């Protein structure tokens, strides 16, 4: 599994409400251009993480424990293991090939239209398209649903924030 983080611009304050960013558009473009499109394509979940305010850091309520998150992951992995039972080499949604995508990620007319629109307006690649379907499949699995909903597709598109923002 690959986990990576980057600043939004050379100074790091682009989009931060507490401090102004003084980077120019060309500078920002050059900075973001260091990560290639094909590399970004291969990252399933792209999420913007705003700076954490001091008050948040000091919050008393405990965050969800790793143990309970692990339980959730194992539960969804089990759903996937059952789905791909009998398919050698496939244990998770991420490992589906194009035939399996067609079989297990059927979209209704509304979701299909939504994805088509996103593909065109965000200029997404075929690889990004497959990633979105796989992530949507996992979101439905987390919810215990057999069928993908347009909300799953919408949420999966949201996780392409770098494609949407800097590279489109
Ligand atoms: Zn900046």
Residue 59, domain member (yes or no): no
Using the mean position of ligand 1's atoms as its centre, give its distance from the Cα of residue 35 in Å: 17
Tell me the pTM: 0.85
Answer yes or no: do 168 and 94 share one domain.
yes
Number of domains in the chain: 2
CB-CB contact of 23 with 8 (8 Å): no
Residue 84 lies in a domain: no
Tokens 């600043």 label which residue? 7
Residue 167, pLDDT above cutoff 50: no
For ligand 1, the distance from its centroid to the CA atom of residue 51, given in whole angstroms, is 14
pLDDT, tens digit, for every residue of 97-129? 999 999 999 999 999 999 999 999 888 889 999
Residue 77 lies in a domain: no
Beta bridge partners of 46: 160
Ligand 1 centroid vs 59 CA: distance in angstroms?
28
Residue 15's domain comprises 8-35
What are the residues whose beta carbons fall under 8 Å from the beta carbon of 98, sequence distance 6 or more? 130
d(CA 102, CA 91): 17
**Is 126 contained in some domain?**
yes
15 phi, psi to nearest 5 deg = 85, 0
For residue 163, the CA-to-ligand 1 centroid distance in Å is 19
Q: Is residue 121 part of a domain?
A: yes
Beta bridge partners of 160: 46
Are residues 94 and 159 both part of a single domain?
yes
């Amino acid at each position: 599994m690959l986990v990576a983080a980057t600043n939004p611009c050379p100074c790091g304050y682009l989009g931060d409400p507490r401090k102004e960013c003084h980077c120019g558009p060309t500078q920002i473009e050059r900075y973001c251009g260091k990560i290639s499109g094909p590399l970004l394509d291969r990252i399933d979940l792209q999420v913007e993480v705003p700076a954490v305010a001091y008050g948040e850091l000091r919050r008393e309520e405990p965050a969800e424990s790793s143990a309970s998150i692990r339980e959730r992951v194992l539960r969804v992995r089990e759903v996937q293991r059952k789905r791909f039972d009998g398919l050698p080499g496939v244990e998770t949604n991420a490992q589906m090939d194009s035939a399996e995508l067609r079989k297990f990620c059927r979209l209704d007319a509304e979701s299909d239209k939504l994805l088509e629109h996103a593909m065109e307006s965000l200029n997404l690649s075929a690889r990004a398209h497959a990633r979105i379907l796989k992530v949507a499949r996992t979101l439905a699995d987390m919810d215990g649903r057999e069928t993908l909903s347009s909300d799953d597709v919408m949420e999966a598109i949201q996780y392409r924030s770098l494609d949407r923002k800097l590279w489109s």
